[in-house]
C-alpha cells in the first residue's frame, strides 16, 4: 500500500529547511565536523563553531596536524571536550590509515574515534546516500508522539525500536534527504514545548495529538541527578613593572574540564559562611601566604551548570606583594595578562574575565 509519509515529509523539508552550510555539501569531512559540533549543541550556536573550524581547518589533514591548544581554543564554549579530543584522534586516523579519505560505509566509519551509530549513520546517509536510518533526539520526540511509542528513550530497546521504524518509514526515499527531513521536522515543527499541532501536516495521523497527550512524549526513564559543588577560586596576581601576571591552573586528565585552564581553587560539598574562610585551605596547598598578599573582597556567587553538576563559584582576588613562581609544577602557570587569551578556559572563567574587563 502506498504510504505518503516520506513524500509529505520531504516536501515539507524542501519548503521549510534551514539554509545551513553543511546542507550544501556531500563532503564527509564537513558533514562529520557538523555532526560532532552539533551533538549537545543548538544549531545557532554550533553554526559559528562550524564556520570557524572549516575556515581554520579546511581539510581533514589540517585538523590532524593542529595543536591541541589550538583546537581547544576554537572549541571553547561548546563543553564536552572529549568530543574535541575525538575530533583530533579521528582526523589523525583518517589521515594516517585511510589516506585522508573518510571511509564510505557505516561499519568502517564506526571504527573511528568518537563515531557511534548515530554519527556513522548520518555520514553514511548524507555523504554517501546509504540507506542507514538516523535517529537523534528530535526524531525520538517526533516519532514517539506520532506513533504513540511509550518505550523510554535512552534505552537499548528504544534504540532498536526507533531505528527500525525510521528505516521502515524511509522506504525508497533518498536517504540523505529523508534523514535530514526527519531530524529537521522534529527540530522545527515537533518541538519539545508547545508544538503548533493545529498547523502540523501530520496532525490527522498523530497519536499523541489525537489523544491530547503530546506533553507526555517522549517518555524518559530517570531524571539525571544533579550534584551541587562550591568552588572557591583564588585569583592570584602579581604586578611586575607594567605587566600583570595571573596564576592559572591546568586541569588534569580526569577532570570535569580536563586540559582547560582556570585558577587554583578548593571544592567543597557545602558553602562556607564566609568565603575568606577558604584562605587557610589555599595556604595549606602552598599557593600563597596570606600575610604576603593583599586579599580583596570576594566576588558575588557565579552559578554554572553542567549536565550532572551545579557549581556555585566565588572568586577571591589575591594580590601578591612577593614575586611568584609557577612554572607548571603542580599544574600552575604564571601567565601575563596579555597572554591569557591564548589559554582555553571554561565558560565560567570567561564570564569572570568579561565581568572584570579582562580581554578574552
Binding residues for ligand SF4, per CB under 6 A? 142, 145-146, 189-190, 195, 197, 200, 202-203, 206, 208-209, 214
3-state secondary structure of 107: helix
The residue to which cell 579521528 is assigned: 90
Closest distance to ligand SF4 from the beta carbon of 192 (Å): 10
Closest distance to ligand SF4 from the beta carbon of 188 (Å): 10
Residue 189 near residue 199, CB atoms below 8 Å? no
Residue 93: Cβ within 10 Å count: 17
DSSP state string for 8-44? HHHHHHHHH----GGGG---HHHHHHHHHHHTTS-HH
Q: Is 184 a catalytic residue?
A: no
Closest distance to ligand SF4 from the beta carbon of 175 (Å): 21
Nearer Cβ to ligand SF4 (9/311): 9
Nearer Cβ to ligand SF4 (181/335): 181
Closest distance to ligand SF4 from the beta carbon of 219 (Å): 14
Nearer Cβ to ligand SF4 (41/189): 189
DSSP state string for 191-233? -SSS--GGG-TTTTT-HHHHHT-GGG-S-BSPPPP-EEEEEEE
DSSP state string for 319-350? EESSPP--BSGGGEEEEEGGGGGGS---HHHH
Closest distance to ligand SF4 from the beta carbon of 7 (Å): 16
Q: What is the DSSP letter of 123?
A: H
Cα torsion at 45, 48, 52, 54 (round to 10°)? Answer: 90
The residue to which cell 589521515 is assigned: 95
Nearer Cβ to ligand SF4 (130/203): 203
Residue 18 near residue 188, CB atoms below 8 Å? yes
Closest distance to ligand SF4 from the beta carbon of 107 (Å): 32
Catalytic residue, from 35, 96, 161, 285: name it. 35
The three three-digit cell numbers of residue 256, written as one number? 570535569
Total residue count of the chain as it appears in this document: 360
Nearer Cβ to ligand SF4 (67/193): 193
Nearer Cβ to ligand SF4 (80/207): 207
Nearer Cβ to ligand SF4 (126/182): 182
Closest distance to ligand SF4 from the beta carbon of 170 (Å): 17
The three three-digit cell numbers of residue 96, written as one number? 594516517
Give me the numbers of helices (H) and strands (E) for the chain, helices first please.
14, 8
d(CA 183, CA 166): 11
Q: Phi, psi at residue 253, to the nearest 5°?
A: -65, -35
d(CA 245, CA 209): 60
Q: Which residues are catalytic?
A: 35
Amino acid at each position: 500500500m502506498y504510504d505518503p509519509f516520506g513524500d509529505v515529509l520531504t516536501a515539507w523539508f524542501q519548503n521549510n529547511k534551514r539554509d545551513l552550510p553543511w546542507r550544501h555539501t556531500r563532503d564527509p569531512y564537513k558533514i562529520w565536523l557538523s555532526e560532532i559540533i552539533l551533538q549537545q549543541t543548538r544549531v545557532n550556536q554550533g553554526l559559528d563553531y562550524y564556520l570557524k573550524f572549516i575556515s581554520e581547518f579546511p581539510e581533514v589533514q589540517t585538523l590532524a596536524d593542529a595543536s591541541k591548544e589550538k583546537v581547544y581554543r576554537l572549541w571553547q564554549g561548546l563543553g564536552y571536550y572529549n568530543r574535541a579530543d575525538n575530533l583530533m584522534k579521528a582526523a589523525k586516523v583518517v589521515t594516517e590509515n585511510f589516506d585522508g579519505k573518510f571511509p564510505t560505509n557505516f561499519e568502517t566509519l564506526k571504527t573511528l574515534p568518537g563515531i557511534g551509530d548515530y554519527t556513522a549513520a548520518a555520514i553514511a546517509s548524507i555523504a554517501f546516500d546509504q540507506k542507514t536510518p538516523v535517529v537523534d533526539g528530535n526524531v525520538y520526540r517526533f516519532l514517539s508522539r506520532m506513533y504513540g511509542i511509550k518505550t523510554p528513550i535512552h534505552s537499548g530497546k528504544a534504540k532498536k525500536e526507533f531505528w527500525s521504524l525510521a528505516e521502515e518509514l524511509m522506504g525508497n526515499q533518498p536517504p540523505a534527504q529523508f534523514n535530514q527531513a526527519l531530524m529537521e521536522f522534529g527540530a522545527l515543527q515537533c518541538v519539545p514545548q508547545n508544538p503548533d499541532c493545529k498547523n502540523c501536516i501530520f496532525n490527522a495521523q498523530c497519536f499523541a495529538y489525537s489523544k491530547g497527550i503530546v506533553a507526555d512524549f517522549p517518555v524518559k526513564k530517570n531524571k539525571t541527578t544533579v550534584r551541587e559543588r562550591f568552588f572557591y577560586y583564588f585569583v592570584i596576581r602579581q604586578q611586575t613593572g607594567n605587566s600583570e601576571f595571573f596564576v592559572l591552573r591546568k586541569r588534569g586528565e580526569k577532570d570535569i574540564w580536563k586540559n582547560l585552564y582556570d585558577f587554583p581553587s578548593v571544592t567543597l560539598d557545602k558553602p562556607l559562611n564566609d568565603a575568606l574562610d577558604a584562605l587557610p585551605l589555599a595556604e595549606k596547598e602552598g599557593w600563597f601566604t596570606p600575610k604576603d598578599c593583599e586579599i580583596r573582597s570576594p566576588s558575588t556567587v557565579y552559578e554554572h551548570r553542567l549536565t550532572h553538576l551545579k557549581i556555585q563559584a566565588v572568586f577571591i582576588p589575591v594580590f601578591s606583594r612577593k614575586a611568584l613562581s609557577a612554572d607548571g609544577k603542580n599544574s600552575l602557570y604564571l601567565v601575563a595578562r596579555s597572554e591569557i587569551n591564548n589559554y582555553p578556559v571554561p565558560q565560567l572563567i570567561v564570564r569572570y574575565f568579561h565581568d572584570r574587563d579582562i580581554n578574552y
